[in-house]
Structure 1
Amino acid sequence: MRDIVDDLLRVWHSGRTGGLATIVRAVGSTSLPVGAATLIDPEGGVFGSIASGRLEEAVFEGALRATRTGHRALHRFDVLSGVETASDGDDTVDIFIEPFSRWTFPEFPTVAAEIAAHRRVTVFTVVWNPDPDVIGQHLITDKKHATELVALPESDVFVSSFSPPPRLIVFGANAYAAALTAQARLIGCRVTICDSRPEFAVPESFPGAEVVCDWPHRYLNTLAAQGEIESDTGIVVLAHEPKFEIPLLTVALRLPSLGYLAALGSATAHARRLDDLRAGGFDERTLAKLHIPAGLTMGARNPAETAVFITAELLAARGGQADRRASWSERAAVGLSG
């Protein structure tokens, strides 16, 4: 639902009714993600996607009916044929289809506001109950919960949990930062650009990002003290000036929890960087946390291509892949950094 929040708000504020379809359970080899949703607006426009082919057509028709009839129901479909089924076999998906409006979901602006403010919000929706008037009721909470279908004695409740998006903090306001902002937002990151130079830290140059004018190490220290650096946070350092990056990397390498740390620069710049950090007391195991942005070794020729490869490496680190590319210091140990 996160990707169609603005569209849902538009329908909600219009005073009209749309149709909302949400995957609440998937069985078998299907890759359809639980929690994905599609909105059919009052004009028949489609926003978001939860399926393809015949299933997509069946969901569209069901959501369109919900806008006209106000009917709320849980449907089970065969993923391949798109035909509604009673079978509990493999390759089936349960989809809750409901009308969506300010009357059917009066709490929705609160949900949207919490998502926009990067705060945790969880929505409980009754998707089955013997009493039809109970189906479709919503409860909002800030408690952490898995996104899943919960079977209770008298109800089935779908729990949709929206955690704050993973954060990417980019130090250095330049063309690489602008390209990286665009790529990182495509994978759902909240992006912050930090630079101490007011003439470079201009919000209009980085659409979709929060822009902060502050000394990098001081800003990172502030975030850490506020508990805003978590295990899925990524940090990319684009400033090559030692007076900026060495104090910053000193703070970053001492963080107890961090998902990804990378610094852009040539082999010569990185060798100097490692010498400075070793002089500051860091051992090789700690320095191995520092990654080379992938663009430098994958043939990237400009900021846009570099941003694509950095984003790919960030995703690999987030997924905990064992075969993710080694850090520059690890590669240097086997003679691959040149």
Structure 2
Amino acid sequence: MRDIVDDLLRVWHSGRTGGLATVVRTVGSGPLDVGSAILVDANGVAYGSVLGGAVESAVREAALAAARTGRRAMHRFGVPAAEAGNDAGGMIDVFAEPFSRRDFPEFPTVASEIANNHRVTIFTVVWNPDGDLIGQHLVTDKRHATELVALPESDVFVCSFAPPPRLIIFGANAIAAALTTQARLLGYRVTICDSRDDLDSVDAFAGAEVVVDWPHRYLNTLAAAGEIDASTAVVVLSDDPKFEIPLLTVALRLPALAYLGATGTLAAHHRRMEDLRAGGFGDATMARLHSPAGFDVGARTATEHAVAIAAELLAARSGRSVPAVRPDVIRAEQVFGARASIAL
């Protein structure tokens, strides 16, 4: 539902009634996420998506019927194998309800909490023997999985919106600008930190929060405020030792981050690793550092480097096995030693 929050808010403010159909349960239906939703406004225009094809058409019709009749109901749709993305196909349960100021008076609060990167959870009664209770909503800030919960006399769909994962980029340059665009497409909240107080143009980093501070000091401040967690990603784009070594020293002393990467040449990589070893870090700790950051895809331009980093970031987020140090770097160190491999 997160992708149609602005559309929902627009329908809410229009004073008219739309229809909202939400996938509340899936069985063998491939990559479809529970919580995926389609909104149909009072003019019949649809927003959002589920699977496409015939199933999406059926879900859209359920939303449209809810808008026109005011009825709240559960629907079950079979999902053909071709649309499910697997051989067996499956089925989905969809809850369709009218959507308006009258039907969901609390929705602006939900939209505001999401926009401000706060946690918000919506409990919706999707079945109850008392029909008047179906469609009732409760909004809280409690952590909960997004799922359909079966209670003795009710079925309740819980839709939870966690704050988006955070990416902190240290170094305001062309790669940072391109990586901001890539990361926001992946759903990250982006912050760029640079020590220069004369940044050429903040406009180059549209959609990102820009902070002027010394990198290690800013990361320490965030950590002390409890704003760094296991979903936080950090990318260091300056390989100047006076900036990156104090910063990486702070980062490597934090509990494990979702991703920690530092860009630079192989020469910069080996100097970086030697400096960190001299600072007392062992191989096990430094294995958390992706250096040089980004998949080796032959990137040359700032945009290409940003794509390479974003790909590695996504792989790390999805739990794919991603070596922190590139295999060619590891082989060079094993065969020639760290200093000799600088010349490769």
TM-score where L is the length of structure 1: 0.92
User: SS of the counterpart of 1:133?
Assistant: helix
User: SS of the counterpart of 1:291?
Assistant: coil
**CA 69–235 in structure 1, closer or farther in 2 if over 3 Å, else same:** same
Q: Which residue does 2:323 correspond to in 1?
A: 325
**CA 201–63 in structure 1, closer or farther in 2 if over 3 Å, else same:** farther
Q: Deviations over 1:223-258 (max 9, x none)?
A: 100111111111000012221111111101111131
Q: Which residue does 2:229 correspond to in 1?
A: 230
Do the aligned partners of 2:77 and 2:93 also contact (CA within 8 Å) in 1?
yes
Q: Deviations over 1:244-299 (max 9, x none)?
A: 11111110111113111001101111112122222212122222211035546211
User: SS of the counterpart of 1:262?
Assistant: strand
The alignment covers a number of residue pairs equal to: 330
Q: Which residue does 2:99 correspond to in 1?
A: 100
Q: Alpha-carbon deviation of 1:326?
A: 3.7
**CA 4–51 in structure 1, closer or farther in 2 if over 3 Å, else same:** same
Q: Which residue does 1:14 correspond to in 2?
A: 14
Q: Which residue does 1:49 correspond to in 2?
A: 49
Match status 1:246 vs 2:207: no
Tell me which amino acid in the other structure corresponds to 1:104: D
Q: Deviations over 1:284-333 (max 9, x none)?
A: 22222110355462111212222222112112212222x323424x7533
Do the aligned partners of 1:203 and 1:210 also contact (CA within 8 Å) in 2?
no
Match status 1:110 vs 2:109: yes
Aligned-residue Cα RMSD (Å) equals 2.0
Q: Deviations over 1:188-218 (max 9, x none)?
A: 1111111111222743221111111111111
Do the aligned partners of 2:24 and 2:35 also contact (CA within 8 Å) in 1?
yes
User: SS of the counterpart of 1:21?
Assistant: strand
Tell me which amino acid in the other structure corresponds to 1:153: P
Q: Which residue does 1:30 correspond to in 2?
A: 30
Superposed, 1:184-195 pairs within 5 Å as 184-195=183-194
**CA 97–29 in structure 1, closer or farther in 2 if over 3 Å, else same:** closer
Give distance in 1, aligned partners of 2:323 and 2:304: 17
Do the aligned partners of 1:124 and 1:159 also contact (CA within 8 Å) in 2?
yes
Match status 1:334 vs 2:327: no
Q: Which residue does 1:308 correspond to in 2?
A: 307
User: SS of the counterpart of 1:290?
Assistant: coil
Q: Alpha-carbon deviation of 1:111?
A: 0.9
Q: Which residue does 2:196 correspond to in 1?
A: 197
Q: Alpha-carbon deviation of 1:179?
A: 0.9
Tell me which amino acid in the other structure corresponds to 2:33: P
Give distance in 2, aligned partners of 1:156 and 1:201: 55
User: SS of the counterpart of 2:133?
Assistant: coil
Q: Which residue does 1:270 correspond to in 2?
A: 269
